[in-house]
Amino acid sequence: MTPQEYEYLCKILKERSGLMLAADKQYLIESRLLPLARRAGLTGIGDLVQKMKGGADALIVDVVEAMTTNETFFFRDKIPFDNFKDTGVPGLIKARASRRTLRIWCAAASTGQEPYSLAVLLKEMDAALTGWRVEIVATDLSQEVLEKSKSGIYSQFEVQRGLPIQLLVKYFDQVGEMWQIKPDVRSMVQFRQLNLLKDFSHLGKFDVIFCRNVLIYFDQQTKIDVFNRLLKANEPDGCLFLGAAETVVGLTNAYRPCQQRRGVYVPNLVAAPPLAPAMATGGTLPLSRH
């Protein structure tokens, strides 16, 4: 791959997905795009670039999807899910007692493990949410991973990564050598294709937004733009979950971190968000554990 080809691919990826690649990431492009080139009957990256430059838009979509499909697994990093279960949802149940609705958005949901992890946690809290309308919207740039997500079918290896055995037995059916999430859990999640660089105001307002392990790939200005638009999609007393390597600090005042709740941020619109006042003030709610 020539420097010019690498530069062209980096330009396309940034324009279409916001993904920023450093100069030393050629190996990543080759490992992900060489198999794609061969499936398209091309000899290598050079031919792939020429075809893209010739206006093969479907191929460009495939390239972007191949480069932006990130690793995920059930209950990844555990702490955000503990925070969601122990303080986030209980706080929302109190704050939303009059309207009894709960909306959650998983941006960059990849192959679905994150939204399904949240759905399982909500199922475990079924008694407290009886009579509530709960909606989980899961979006991703890649149509291919969304199709896998909708099926809810995972391999033995995939379900062994982060999923406790008791939850596997309770919420999955074995289908041959694979495992499929039960229909009542799958029905809790709506999957939609979405590019975070584009307008997403049509999705409406959400009490909780999970936008984890995606902004880390964006440049600073793109991050600021996404944060400002996420704020408009977040209820004033809602919250935003980011990945372990992501933060709003030094980028925007739209959100502020919650003390003692790593990776949780609240809109900087009200003095004490009712969602989880102890999260912001360092109160006595139990700390989550690894």
Please tell me whether residues 182 and 226 are part of one structural domain. yes
Q: Cα torsion at 101, 150, 139, 57 (round to 10°)?
A: -150
Both 9 and 91 in one domain: the answer is no
Entry pTM: 0.79
Mark whether 9 and 56 lie in a shared domain. Answer: yes
Same domain, 254 and 119: yes
**Axis-axis angle for helices 26-39, 57-68 (nearest 10):** 130
Asked if 56 and 94 sit in the same domain, the reply is no
* Residue ranges making up the domain that contains 33: 3-68
Clarify whether residues 12 and 132 are in a common domain. no
Q: How many CA atoms lie within 13 A of 19 on its CB side?
A: 24
Query: What is the per-residue pLDDT for 82?
Result: 93
CB 233 within 8 A of CB 204: yes
Q: How many separate domains does the chain show?
A: 2
Residue with tokens 């919420």: 171
**Quick one: tokens of 257?**
């971190």
Answer yes or no: do 166 and 208 share one domain: yes
Report yes or no on 158 lying in a domain.
yes
Domain membership flag for residue 73? no
Measured in residues, the chain has a length of 290
Q: Quick check: is 137 in a domain?
A: yes
Residue 287 placed within a domain: no
Q: Domain check: are 266 and 168 in the same one? A: yes
Residue 182 maps to a domain: yes
289 belongs to a structural domain: no
Alpha-carbon distance values, 24 to 29, 49, 192, 250, 257 (Å): 10, 19, 33, 26, 32
Assess whether 162 and 189 both reside in one domain.
Answer: yes
In tens digits, the chain (290 residues) has pLDDT values of: 788 888 888 888 888 777 777 777 787 788 878 888 888 888 888 888 888 888 777 888 888 877 776 668 899 889 999 999 999 999 999 999 999 999 999 998 989 999 999 999 999 999 999 999 999 999 998 888 899 899 999 999 899 888 999 999 999 999 999 999 999 999 999 999 999 989 999 999 999 999 998 888 888 899 999 999 999 999 999 999 999 888 998 888 899 998 778 889 999 875 434 444 334 333 322 222 22
Question: So what's the pLDDT on residue 69?
Answer: 63
Q: Rounded to the nearest 5 degrees, what angle is found at the Cα of 144, between the Cα atoms of 84 and 138?
A: 25
In a domain, 74, yes or no: no
